[in-house]
Structure 1
Amino acid sequence: MKKSLLAVAAIGAFASAAQAQSSVTVYGIMDVGFQGVTTRNGSTKTNVTRFSGEGSETTSRLGFRGTEDLGGGMSAFFTAEFALNSTNATLSGDANNGLFNRQSFVGLKKNGIGQAAIGTQYTPIHLAVGRTDPGQQNNMLGNVIYATSAAQGSGQTTASYTVRYNNALTLATDRMAGFVVSAIYNNNNSDTNQTATGGGSANNNAWGAGVNYVWNKLNVDAAIQNSSSSNWAAQQTTGPALPATQTVGLAPSNPLGAAVQMSQQYYGATYDFGILKAYAGYVSNKVQAQASNAQLERTAQQIGVRSFVTPKVEAWASAGTGRYTAQNLSALSSATAASASQNFTGYQLGSNYWLSKRTNMYAIFGSTQVSSSSIAVSEGGSSYGVGVRHTF
């Protein structure tokens, strides 16, 4: 009898240990195709055509994620995700010939309460845009909310928000009465923007918060982010600014100095009408010089639709407007106007032909135009991409 009880106990212990083993999933996206990009900056016009492995529709990536059941409704989880570029000898184009870290974090989750994680993670605004962008954050010109990658041409990549923070703590509740509340805190490290692998600001302290609400076919998002940096990156494309290459009397790299305060906010919504899904979004990004009252701001609003025309053909369209404003720049240079502004517009058309649930062919076209100002000439650009995307 005792031997039987011991055998049962041993089997139970083994089953519990086996149940507690972690499960790991390998996932990724490979998006390759052909791109054409035309940009205009004042009287300078540039045309580029290329085979691209950066992904016109989605940035290629390789990831690993896993969970482990800790018992009592607790679980541990991790994600490690890296950028890929199939046409680049270093896979991601990182300066150190390694993989660019898109996100890597580990955390704990309690069912019915929420989760916490530490590592390199997406910001609340980036997650909110992902749920409310008709173009699903593709890499072509024409989207005024999600700025394109640097590969789309000089002067066309001014960022509208920060995509990820390194050295970040995130908190998120489980969905309750339709609501999920999230927060992020970044302490004394660098944040990275999607416009360049080295973009963003260093020696940075930042925080953010977001709210997502879902009711039937309605989705609503609101998110804010604030950061303070004592070593802002020199790249003008990391902030909301008039084109640096056209600024008179200012250093072309960074007109606000090293120490800046950055405030960002986003509001978006979607509604599924059945035959199509409607999208709307608004973003604001303001950078304030801490040594003076000089500031640069970018605001934009966009609407769009997305729908399956046939069971295999999916199409989307978006259009938006925005404005760059610069105030009190004369505090930085007497040769510069005190204020200036530029208006911009953008639109995008795209389609997918689904060969299977994981593989599709796509075609995307986008265009953007920016007016001139007292310190910057007009500019514009258009790009198209055709290719094949496979998820695994």
Structure 2
Amino acid sequence: MKKSLLAVAAIGAFASAAQAQSSVTVYGILDVGFQGVTTRGTAASSTSTAVQNPVAGGKSNQTRFSGEGSEQTSRLGFRGTEDLGGGMSAFFTAEFQLSPTDATLSGTYGNGLANRQTFVGLKKNGIGQAAIGTQYTPIHMAVGRTDPGQQNNMLGNVIYATNASQGSGQTATSYTVRYNNALTLMTDRIAGFQVNAIYNNNNTDTNQTAAAGGSTNNNAWGAGVNYVWNKLNVDAAIQNSSSSNWTAQQTTGPALPASASTAAANLPANPLGTAINMAQQYYGATYDFGILKAYAGYISAKYSNQATPSSYLQRTAQQIGVRSFVTPTIEAWASAGTGRFEGQNLAQSAAALAVKSSASQNFTGYQLGSNYWLSKRTNMYAIFGSTQVSSSGVAMSEGGSSYGVGVRHTF
């Protein structure tokens, strides 16, 4: 009898230990509500411009019930860890975009789920971790820690201006959100510092013939450092990606190729051709004063022709903001920023496009938002944002505004 009890206890202890060594968590966000976007264009606006396709000579209004999420993009994810012993562990994440109000689960991605991030890696306690897969860039992670709007999908944020649901009033894609086929490294936090790096390589070469063959080379790298001391948080990150696509019959290529830089593919007709270098950098900081948290950030993104570096498009912006709980259940935030868009020698790489060889443009943006927390996981929200653009030698959208009200639930 005693031996039987001991055997049962041993089996139970072994099962508990095995269960503790491996775990999988299901998580997600569902954000639905009502959304409105207004874009403003000039009479001189063209449907083929240096940076984007604005409204051709007038105003465009769109309202809808939206499953894209004004505050956050809806998603479903799975993450897991396994203890390998000796301070080693394996981990994975598989996260996909959801479109709750669309007929297809991932919206326009009818052939499968839209991949937000999917990777597998190893971690060593006291040293750090490494992972391979589709992953966020160093700048995106840094902006996530230092953005007063927490990377919502409304207009008015001049730093996080990457989501298509923000309307066509944005001046340009501000930075690359994720790289696929990427290797990442991240250290443990030491003396307040944590360092991360990313490398992407996706190259294809084919035999040259009279009508086929060529080379598609997509490479990217980046690095970031995060420092935390008491109530101060400081971030600095840089990243660089190059996209080249040469074929035997190709002479010009106005469309920016789909590259390692997935967010950069949001840019439409590109006067720089298909051999593009993208250099981006970001610096941000937050300080928690107790009654409110202050935010500041600076972003720079330069898109240049690899063969002619003097032909480039550049976007820079700076932003400040605050975020605070007005009451235990009501949270509010506000941000304001300015920026500048510049282009040089654009006609050298795209003579067929009606783009001046030199142009500049200033823009401003602001955003107001609030959350009413029903619980730790559920809140109602209201967000309004606006972007204004000055007159320019480049025919572009003159800005826009958007608002969103809805309910967000995290699980």
With the length of structure 1 as denominator, give the TM-score of the two structures.
0.88
For 1:23, the equivalent position in structure 2 comes to 23
For 1:234, the equivalent position in structure 2 comes to 255
Q: Distance in 1 between matches of 2:280 and 2:299?
A: 7
Find the residue that maps to 2:347 and give its secondary structure. helix
Q: Distance in 2 between matches of 1:175 and 1:388?
A: 35
Residue 43 of structure 2 corresponds to residue 37 of structure 1: no
Question: Residues 135-188 of structure 1: CA distance to partner in whole angstroms, max 9, x if unpaired?
Answer: 000000000000152233335362111000000000000000000000000011
For 1:221, the equivalent position in structure 2 comes to 235
Correspondence for 2:318 among 292, 295, 301: 301
Find the residue that maps to 2:14 and give its secondary structure. helix
Contact 1:85–1:93 (CA under 8 A) maintained in structure 2: yes
Q: Distance in 2 between matches of 1:155 and 1:74?
A: 48
Find the residue that maps to 1:166 and give its secondary structure. strand
Residue 272 of structure 2 corresponds to residue 259 of structure 1: no
After superposition, the Cα gap between the structure-2 partners of 1:178 and 1:264, relative to the gap in structure 1 and judged at 3 Å, is same
Find the residue that maps to 2:315 and give its secondary structure. strand
For 2:286, the equivalent position in structure 1 comes to 270
Contact 1:159–1:240 (CA under 8 A) maintained in structure 2: no
Of 145-154 and 168-177, deviating more is 145-154
Find the residue that maps to 1:156 and give its secondary structure. coil
For 1:331, the equivalent position in structure 2 comes to 348
Deviation for aligned residue 1:375: 2.6
**Structure possessing the higher relative contact order (Cα contacts under 8 Å, 6 or more residues apart):** 2
With the length of structure 2 as denominator, give the TM-score of the two structures.
0.84
Correspondence for 2:172 among 158, 166, 169: 158
Contact 1:141–1:148 (CA under 8 A) maintained in structure 2: no
Find the residue that maps to 1:95 and give its secondary structure. coil
Question: Residues 343-374 of structure 1: CA distance to partner in whole angstroms, max 9, x if unpaired?
Answer: 00000000000000000000000000111212
Find the residue that maps to 1:127 and give its secondary structure. helix
Deviation for aligned residue 1:96: 3.5
Q: Distance in 2 between matches of 1:313 and 1:337?
A: 49
For 1:247, the equivalent position in structure 2 comes to none
* Residue identity in the other structure for 1:259: A
Correspondence for 1:68 among 82, 89, 114: 82
Correspondence for 2:384 among 352, 356, 365: 365
After superposition, the Cα gap between the structure-2 partners of 1:45 and 1:175, relative to the gap in structure 1 and judged at 3 Å, is same
After superposition, the Cα gap between the structure-2 partners of 1:360 and 1:16, relative to the gap in structure 1 and judged at 3 Å, is closer
Residue 161 of structure 2 corresponds to residue 140 of structure 1: no
Q: Distance in 2 between matches of 1:323 and 1:277?
A: 27
For 1:340, the equivalent position in structure 2 comes to 359
Correspondence for 2:301 among 255, 268, 285: 285
After superposition, the Cα gap between the structure-2 partners of 1:327 and 1:80, relative to the gap in structure 1 and judged at 3 Å, is same
Deviation for aligned residue 1:44: 1.2
Q: Over the residues paired in the alignment, what is the CA RMSD in angstroms?
A: 2.6
Correspondence for 2:66 among 52, 59, 76: 52
Contact 2:273–2:350 (CA under 8 A) maintained in structure 1: no
Deviation for aligned residue 1:14: 3.0
Q: Distance in 2 between matches of 1:180 and 1:169?
A: 17
Question: Residues 11-46 of structure 1: CA distance to partner in whole angstroms, max 9, x if unpaired?
Answer: 599358615641000000000000111111113101
Contact 1:240–1:296 (CA under 8 A) maintained in structure 2: no
Q: Distance in 2 between matches of 1:56 and 1:105?
A: 27
Contact 2:256–2:274 (CA under 8 A) maintained in structure 1: no
For 1:194, the equivalent position in structure 2 comes to none
* Residue identity in the other structure for 2:35: Q
Contact 1:240–1:297 (CA under 8 A) maintained in structure 2: no
* Residue identity in the other structure for 2:60: T
* Residue identity in the other structure for 2:359: A
After superposition, the Cα gap between the structure-2 partners of 1:128 and 1:183, relative to the gap in structure 1 and judged at 3 Å, is same
Q: Distance in 2 between matches of 1:95 and 1:137?
A: 22
Contact 1:158–1:240 (CA under 8 A) maintained in structure 2: no
Of 154-163 and 136-145, deviating more is 154-163
Q: Distance in 2 between matches of 1:312 and 1:336?
A: 51
Identical columns (%): 82
Find the residue that maps to 1:18 and give its secondary structure. helix
For 1:124, the equivalent position in structure 2 comes to 138
After superposition, the Cα gap between the structure-2 partners of 1:113 and 1:360, relative to the gap in structure 1 and judged at 3 Å, is same
Paired residues, number: 369
Residue 315 of structure 2 corresponds to residue 315 of structure 1: no
For 1:193, the equivalent position in structure 2 comes to none
Of 19-28 and 294-303, deviating more is 19-28
Superposition map of 1:352-391 within 5 A: 352-377=371-396, 379-391=398-410
Contact 1:371–1:377 (CA under 8 A) maintained in structure 2: no
Superposition map of 1:80-95 within 5 A: 80-95=94-109
After superposition, the Cα gap between the structure-2 partners of 1:259 and 1:333, relative to the gap in structure 1 and judged at 3 Å, is closer
Find the residue that maps to 1:177 and give its secondary structure. coil
Q: Distance in 1 between matches of 2:154 and 2:112?
A: 25
After superposition, the Cα gap between the structure-2 partners of 1:166 and 1:322, relative to the gap in structure 1 and judged at 3 Å, is same
Correspondence for 1:351 among 360, 367, 370: 370
Question: Residues 309-366 of structure 1: CA distance to partner in whole angstroms, max 9, x if unpaired?
Answer: 0000000000000000001123235664331100000000000000000000000000
Deviation for aligned residue 1:189: 6.4
Question: Residues 29-68 of structure 1: CA distance to partner in whole angstroms, max 9, x if unpaired?
Answer: 0000001111111131011110000000000000000111
Find the residue that maps to 1:291 and give its secondary structure. coil
Contact 2:25–2:78 (CA under 8 A) maintained in structure 1: yes
Q: Distance in 1 between matches of 2:221 and 2:273?
A: 22
